[in-house]
Chains A and B, each alone.
Chain A
């Protein structure tokens, strides 16, 4: 590090230039802006699917700002919480708008993040060298789920109350420590004031802090390796005379104006919901949640908010009968792995031992289906983290994969949507069977990916990105 040197500006230089220069001598302001956005070169062939990252950032800011104003009027007290939300809706000037923006923002956040992840899946955005981008993103998704779960208790309605009760009770399925663990999480024998207070603390400070850090890491990692694109071509392998990739353009101004356009379209849709359908037919604000939480009145049908239902369906699909299918599934998968995989013998042996223990554990007399439901529920989320290592396709983008791969992906999306839909419904025999089939497909998609993803005839990936000038 050299000695500190003050940049000299001519006396008649604009004040703004001098001010920025003064800061730049002491803090890398211009450098940060240029590295992260101003001169960050991004592929020029981004399509519709590439807007959701910016939109997620926008909604994050929206949630934080509206959240701060809600915190000024909300009371984290079991006796006051429900009424304080109605106080915000009626007595606080513009409180209704802030609250609806926050509740609509929560659902929008998940719609955006699911589409953002779909993009990653379609175009192989998680592939080398973007594994860490994906992992940070996955951690952001986990935080988002935690944030939504803790936040959903705060209005203290019937769904808030019983939803939290059901989810906290899931921890009770863990052998030995389960019941004590869920007691420790709740801080009481039922969801109560103690639970509300700690959930409030997690929702307004603990999780948002972690979330912001992870979002920063996600962006730094992305801007370090550079963005992928719908063709899955590494644009940095084809540099122009100026040292920048020939197929890239600086984010500013091109993606600035592009994202402003995307944001404006999003805001039209967002405002339409906030002002004309804030309940969104009972999906964004559930009807039952307009009744105060009551520990003595269990609602007939308890379902989590729509964005959790795909994973919740996996939990419900894991019935005692279904355990036999799962045991066969695990045995078949390990035999397949043993025969087909190129893993080292020791790794295979470890996997086989774990699988054997799991199968023994799945016997009805050992661990009950509820425990395995929780395991598969968690597994259905966690498995996403392994995508960079499960996908062995020689090309990144769906565009150059064999056509039948598209149906494999379509099957995943349909399974996910079906699970999501069924999770909002009361349990029914046909629904359970459909959700079990969808669950099997969902896991098979990922667990068999190392094999099917390299099968078939791949199309030739062009040297330059496909771009049609506007």
Chain B
């Protein structure tokens, strides 16, 4: 191996030196819903029913939901409640000023939140999937709930009727690195009050909702990947032709 090849080998290894993983609550992997239209439609329904009351998705047009196999009539009848038109953006009726007064902060726009919450090693979907399932009872909070992923979240546990109420168990453990300190360690949830869904049903519903939010963050994603296959096939064919063309010309160079 000559020097420049060695150098290239080093360069090729560079992306392997990825970010070190960050601390915090370990995130569950969000199930893949990207090819499951029924699940994505269910996710859209949950999103419109539960999230849009406070949040905007102001880059998302209602009739883009046709990409998920819905017709304009279906969108009108099932997802539009307050006289919006199907060509309008998903905006909330809640004025930002009121939201600020009630929650202390304006709820973020959710159009691309699934992309924003990605981190090295985890998709934004993983974050949302874990976040929405780890609200627990905490009477010290104004909403009565706290969250494992986003401690002291301003957002109330919007899905509590579905999930029910769970409390978090913590144990005090000695810090193995420092005898003097104790660690407040999470030791699982306990169902305090049942919801309208079983744990499995709730996890499935949240997975659908998160699947929808991932789709909404980049509606062109499936089209991009489908097209990409053809582009790569074409470019590879072109590269082979170009390689042979080059070889045939360079044959004569002595």
Q: Which residues of A are interface residues toward B (Cβ below 8 A)?
A: 44, 47-49, 83, 86-87, 89-91, 96-97, 100, 118, 122, 249, 253-254, 257-258, 260-261, 263-265, 267-268, 271-272, 274-276, 278-279, 281-283, 287-288, 290-292, 398, 406, 409-410, 413-414, 417, 421, 424-425, 469-470
Contacts and interface: CB of A to CB of B under 8 A. Distances in A.
A268 B249 contact: no
A47 B118 CA distance: 40
Contacts of B188: none
Interface string B235-254: 11011011101110111011
Contact of B236 (A258, A263, A268, A421): A268
B254 A469 contact: yes
Given A257-B249, A410-B3, 16 more contacts: A90-B60, A90-B61, A96-B224, A118-B7, A122-B4, A254-B250, A258-B246, A261-B239, A264-B238, A264-B239, A275-B224, A282-B120, A287-B116, A290-B113, A406-B3, A470-B250
A265 to B, nearest CB: 5
Contact of B64 (A48, A90, A283, A406): A90
Interface residues of B, number: 55
Contacts of A417: 10-11, 14
A276 B228 contact: yes
Given A282-B118, A413-B7, A86 B112 contact: yes
A292 B58 CA distance: 13
B-side interface mostly: helix
- Of the candidates A257, A276, A421, the one having the most CB atoms from chain B within 10 angstroms of its own CB is A257
A272 B232 contact: yes
B115 A290 contact: yes
B225 interface: yes
A469 B225 contact: no
Contacts of B101: none
A-side interface mostly: helix
A90 B219 contact: yes
Interface in B47-72: 58-61, 64
Q: Across the A-B interface, give the 9 residue pairs with the lowest CB-CB distance, nearest first.
A: A275-B228, A290-B116, A264-B239, A86-B59, A261-B242, A264-B242, A261-B246, A290-B115, A96-B220
Interface in B139-182: none
Interface in B93-126: 108-109, 111-113, 115-120, 124
Interface in B185-243: 217-220, 224-225, 227-229, 231-232, 235-236, 238-239, 241-243
Nearest to B18: A281
A268 B235 contact: yes
